[in-house]
């Protein structure tokens, strides 16, 4: 796991560098990275660029962690963590208690905006996830409540 986490630190885009060594990731982020690696079983795991990005998503000026499991490669399978509904995406946001698991969903994309004056995540999903049929695109908005992004619609 140490090798995959070290590769993870190198895989981050230069615009959002990981200032701490991979071993210094906040505990919940490190645990999610370890879970991603373990999901490959005996296959070699590659955490490709884009697995972790940093962006302030809750408006406190502290860069948060966004994990996109589409960047987990198990052996030769480049999209092992994805299906027709999308890929797991997880957000760890900073709070006064440290980083918390603030959002976790299977989605095609996450975008962060302000909605009604509050930080929010706009989630692009596929029909079945939203109670629609098949591949019909749909979305949800989740608003920051100080601890998590709770879905509102």
**Would residue 32 count as lying in a domain?**
yes
Q: What is the mean pLDDT of the chain?
A: 81
**Would residue 137 count as lying in a domain?**
no
Please name which of 51, 70, 64 lies closest in space to residue 121, comparing C-alpha atoms: 64
E strands, 48-97, in order: 52-55, 64-68, 72-74, 82-83, 86-95
What residues contact residue 99 under an 8 Å CB cut-off, 6+ apart? 26, 27, 28, 29, 64, 65, 92, 93
| Residue % of the chain over a pLDDT of 70 | 75
pTM for this model (two decimals): 0.80
**Would residue 23 count as lying in a domain?**
yes
**Would residue 124 count as lying in a domain?**
no
H or E stretch including 127?
helix 127-130
pLDDT tens for the chain, 153 residues: list them. Answer: 444 444 444 444 433 333 333 568 999 999 999 888 888 888 898 888 999 999 999 999 999 999 999 999 888 876 666 887 888 999 999 999 999 999 999 899 999 999 999 999 999 987 666 666 666 777 889 999 999 998 655
**Would residue 118 count as lying in a domain?**
no
Question: Do 32 and 90 touch, CB atoms closer than 8 A?
Answer: yes
Q: pLDDT of 44-54, one tens digit each?
A: 988 889 999 99
* Domain extent for 55: 2-107
Question: Do 73 and 48 touch, CB atoms closer than 8 A?
Answer: yes
Total of domains in the chain: 1
**Would residue 68 count as lying in a domain?**
yes
User: Coil, strand, or helix at residue 90?
Assistant: strand
């Amino acid at each position: 796991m140490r090798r995959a986490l070290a590769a993870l630190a190198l895989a981050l885009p230069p615009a959002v560098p990981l200032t701490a060594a991979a071993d210094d990731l906040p505990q919940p982020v490190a645990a999610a990275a370890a879970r991603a690696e373990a999901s490959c079983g005996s296959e070699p795991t590659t955490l490709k660029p884009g697995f972790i990005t940093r962006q302030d998503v809750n408006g406190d000026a502290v860069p948060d962690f966004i994990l996109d499991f589409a960047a987990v490669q198990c052996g030769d399978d480049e999209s092992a963590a994805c299906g027709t509904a999308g890929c797991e995406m997880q957000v760890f946001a900073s709070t006064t208690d440290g980083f918390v698991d603030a959002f976790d969903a299977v989605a095609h994309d996450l975008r962060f905006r302000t909605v009604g004056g509050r930080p929010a995540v706009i989630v692009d999903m596929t029909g079945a996830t939203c109670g629609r049929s098949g591949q019909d695109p749909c979305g949800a908005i989740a608003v920051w409540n100080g601890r998590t992004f709770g879905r509102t619609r």
